[in-house]
Amino acid sequence: MNQITVDALAALAHPTLIDVREPNEYAIGHAPGAVNLPLSELPARIAEVPAGTPVHVICQAGGRSARATELLTGNGVDAINVDGGTNAWIQQGHPLETPSA
For the ranges 24-33, 54-63, 91-100, the lowest mean pLDDT is seen at 91-100
Provide mean pLDDT across the span 10-16.
96
The active-site residue out of 59, 71, 79, 88 is: 59
What's the mean pLDDT in 44-63?
A: 95
Mean pLDDT of 39-60: 95
CATH class of 3-91: alpha beta
Residues 6+ apart with CB under 8 A from 77: 46, 49, 51, 55
Predicted local distance difference test score (pLDDT) of residue 1:
80
Name the average pLDDT for the chain.
Answer: 95
The answer to whether residue 59 is catalytic is: yes
Residue 86 Cα distances to 34, 45, 51, 75, 76, angstroms? 11, 22, 24, 25, 25
Indicate the domain borders of the chain. Answer: 3-91
pTM: 0.95
Burial annotation 73-89 (CB, 10 A radius, 16+ → b, else e): beeebebbbbbbbbebb
Contact present, 34 and 8 (Cβ < 8 Å): no
pLDDT of residue 100: 66
Mean pLDDT of 78-85: 97
- The DSSP secondary-structure symbol of 36 reads E
- Rounded distance, CA 4 to CA 83, Å? 6
Alpha helices in 1-101 (DSSP H): 6-11, 23-28, 42-45, 63-74, 85-91
- pLDDT at 51 exceeding the cut of 90: no
% of the chain at pLDDT higher than 90: 92
How many residues comprise the chain? 101
